[in-house]
Amino acid sequence: MSVSIAIPKERAQDERRVAISPAGVQILVEQGIRVVVESNAGCFCNFHDQDYAEAGAIIVTSPEELYPQANVIVKVSPPQPEELQLLLPGQMLISAVHLGTVSRQMLKTLIDKNITALGFEFIETRDGELPIVRTLSEIAGSLAIQTAAKYLETGYGGSGILLGGIAGVPPAHVTIIGAGTVGLFAAQDALGLGAQVTVIDKEINRLRRFEAFFNRHLVTAIANEHYISQLAKMSDVMIGALSPKLKLNKPLVSEQVVKTMKPGSVIIDVSIDQGACFATSRHTTHTNPIYVKYGVTHYCVPNIPSAVAKTATFALTNTLLPFLLKLNAHQTIPEILWNSHSLRKGTYLYKGYITKKILAELTDLPFREIDMLLATA
């Protein structure tokens, strides 16, 4: 199909990223894809309208002018209520979904408008890798340690401990819940600073891989109630880094366990956008990132990578571009989805149906398998 991509300015609270950098736009334009960018879309990343114009994009001044000019909308955060009204029937939407806060009304509106929607959380390669999730998880893992170090400081109400310690003074103890990509990068940065690190996970094979990768420089334990309660008492920092593929019925760390943590210790719940890892977690923002409960500082910002908007935008562009270029290879949406495993896997709304069971369960909206819908197209 003749592809035209619209890149709006993000309107979700504290979302400072933009879906595609000017360099990414240039690659799309060179491949014959028309790109329309809303004015100031990249302002928080220090990307100017002129940068996008020089890359070949058409600049428009408002979302009302932007949305009608494209058949594919590419953005970072899920559409806000005011943006939903601007989507046109039959358009394709590519963005994050945020399972932890997904709105039934948003999905119902998209269904009513016959939108084909793809989610960052669902785009998957043939080997089971979630490339966009992985990229953003790498950033979130590193930032989790950077953030924890800050909130351990006395001036922020922390226990006043230097994460890595110094000669003669022991370092902080960091417990990471989840041996996935977030956990890997958090462990790497924590060890690099000199902290004591324990990683817990329900799967023994993931822990074996961590032990081998870090040459046994960290401690691993199975994520059961016994180890979680023991580690909570001794940890200065606990990081919730559960995989988005993991479907939790309840938080892994109970309120009673959080109560046993040391005063001035820090919780970073990276999993908050998919569902809380700690029973005491609730959503915070970059503007108001923390609150204290039971003497423990909680940082539960769902879009952590937005704190480094420019790096995150470059990373997102690098990962997203190959999938956007596939849109140009076929004439119709059914052909695109049939011929791209990744885009088919990434689709969560098609032909008026939810195509991901987890979303249907969360919202009680009608579900059909994507393959079945494509077969009858």
10-residue mean pLDDT profile of the chain (377 residues): values are: 92 95 97 96 96 98 96 95 95 91 92 96 92 95 97 96 95 96 96 97 95 95 95 97 68 95 97 88 95 97 94 97 92 89 95 93 91 84
Domains in the chain, CATH or no CATH each? 4-129+308-375 (3.40.50.720), 137-307 (3.40.50.720)
Of the residues 201, 236, 273, 298, only one is catalytic, namely 273
pLDDT tens, position by position, 284-340: 999 999 999 999 999 999 899 999 999 999 999 999 999 999 998 888 889 999 999
Percent of the chain at pLDDT above 90?
87
pLDDT value at position 247?
A: 53
Catalytic site residue 51? no
pTM value? 0.91
Catalytic site residue 273? yes
Of the residues 98, 189, 236, 298, only one is catalytic, namely 98
pLDDT value at position 332?
A: 87
Secondary structure of the chain as H, E, C letters: CCCEEEECCCCCCCCCCCCCCHHHHHHHHHCCCEEEEECCCCHHHCCCHHHHHHCCCEEECCHHHHHHHCCEEECCCCCCHHHHCCCCCCCEEEECCCHHHCCHHHHHHHHHCCCEEEECCCCCCCCCCCHHHHHHHHHHHHHHHHHHHHHCCHHHCCCCCCCCCECCECCCEEEEECCCHHHHHHHHHHHHHCCEEEEEECCHHHHHHHHHHCCCCCEEEECCHHHHHHHHHHCCEEEECCCCCCCCCCCCECHHHHHCCCCCCEEEEHHHHCCCCECCCCCCCCCCCEEEECCEEEECCCCHHHHHHHHHHHHHHHHHHHHHHHHHHCCCHHHHHHHCHHHHHHEEEECCEECCHHHHHHHCCCECCHHHHHHCC
